[in-house]
Amino acid sequence: MSNIGVIGAGSWGTTLADMLAKKGHDVTLWAYEADLVKEMATTGVNAAFLPGITLSSRLRFTNSLQEAATGKEIILFVAPTQVFRSVITGVLPFIAEGTLLVNAAKGIELGSLMTISQISAELLPPRHYANFSVLSGPSFAREVALEMPTAVVAASLDASVARRVQESFSTPRFRVYTNSDMVGVELGGSIKNVIAIAAGISDGMGLGYNPRAALITRGLAEIARLGLAVGGQSATFAGLAGMGDLVLTCTGDLSRNRTVGMQLGEGRKLTEILAGMHMVAEGVKTTESAYHLAQKLGVEMPITEQVYQVLYQEKSPQQALMDLMTRDLKAEGMEFGKNS
């Protein structure tokens, strides 16, 4: 068993911290909000982000990054992508030699258009980055917290690092596979949120199952094209971090991104939707960064482009649908990245 620090007490961070503590690890969960730390320590519940789930009595809580990171064998980052740069900078002075670094958040940073692993490669000394990995896959936090069977993937440039994550995180209810395609896993976990917004828009418009199936399939092609353009491997997008996470997020009622899309499809404004949400729908910001990354790399992503225009240019969902359906006719490629 390991001494683990978990950075980020949203629904996913709290769930993973609780799961690791129940496995027998010594876990400290960091939250930015001092009142949330006090609440969890007092009640054993994260009512704001994981209501109704009693957390392991083994968990410790802190809002000190130094306390969360010092002396830890594993540091798990589950902070929102847009604040990850500042969080890892704050943690860096306290990372011990040989500490396993794992990121479980999903997204692409605005401005830099970097994934979490790319930000980490820029900020971490090589000796620390050598121990870096990402954890992704189809995994609603509440279902994991309720110990429903779940399968995810741990990816690292170093196979031994991925295996260490696999061994540390796997339980009889949480199965971890390994993968060497870190950036591909990240892109799959990020862009699926954009496609989920599109699927939600379709559902909110009452369009039925046919368009949802088309959006999932053509959305996967977009994910693969962008992933291949940044060095990912095509097989990754047929796996848990690609197709698996995409199907879950586009169809599951627990998907915050699909919920945003549904409300857009029903005619609500984005500002109104976001004002009423307590938890982050990462796909809203990822849509912006994914759109600009695709433009930068010259990758065709028509679904992402239409979602971007609906979110940021006040395009109507009805016009976005028409523009998607009346694009130039093409052949379907037999492999990802061709004739799409």
Question: What residues contact 268, with CB distance under 8 A and at least 6 apart?
Answer: none
- 196 domain-assigned: yes
Judge whether residue 244 has pLDDT over 60: yes
pLDDT for the residue 339: 43
| 117 plus 259 within the same structural domain | no
Structural domain count, the chain: 2
What is d(CA 129, CA 100) in angstroms, rounded to the nearest whole number? Answer: 9
Give the closest residue to 132 by CA, choosing from 81, 95, 107.
95
> pLDDT grade, residue 336 (50/70/90)?
low
> Is pLDDT at 177 greater than 90 in this prediction?
yes
Structure confidence at residue 146 (pLDDT): 98
Q: Are residues 124 and 227 in the same domain?
A: no
In the predicted model, what is the mean pLDDT of the chain?
95
Q: What is the pLDDT of residues 99-131, one digit of tens each?
A: 999 999 999 999 999 999 999 999 999 999 999
Which distant-in-sequence residues (6+ apart) come within 8 Å of 145 by Cβ? 14, 15, 18, 19, 50, 53
pLDDT at 276: 87
CATH number at residue 313: 1.10.1040.10
User: Would you please indicate which residues are annotated as catalytic (active-site) residues?
Assistant: 192
Residue 32 has φ and ψ, to the nearest 5°, of -65, -35
| Rounded-to-integer distance, Cα 16 and Cα 167, Å | 14
CA dist 207 and 183 (Å) reads 34
Cβ–Cβ < 8 Å for 124, 132 = yes
Instruction: Write out the residue range of the structural domain in which residue 270 sits.
Output: 183-325
The CATH number assigned to the domain holding 96 equals 3.40.50.720
The length of the chain in residues reads 340
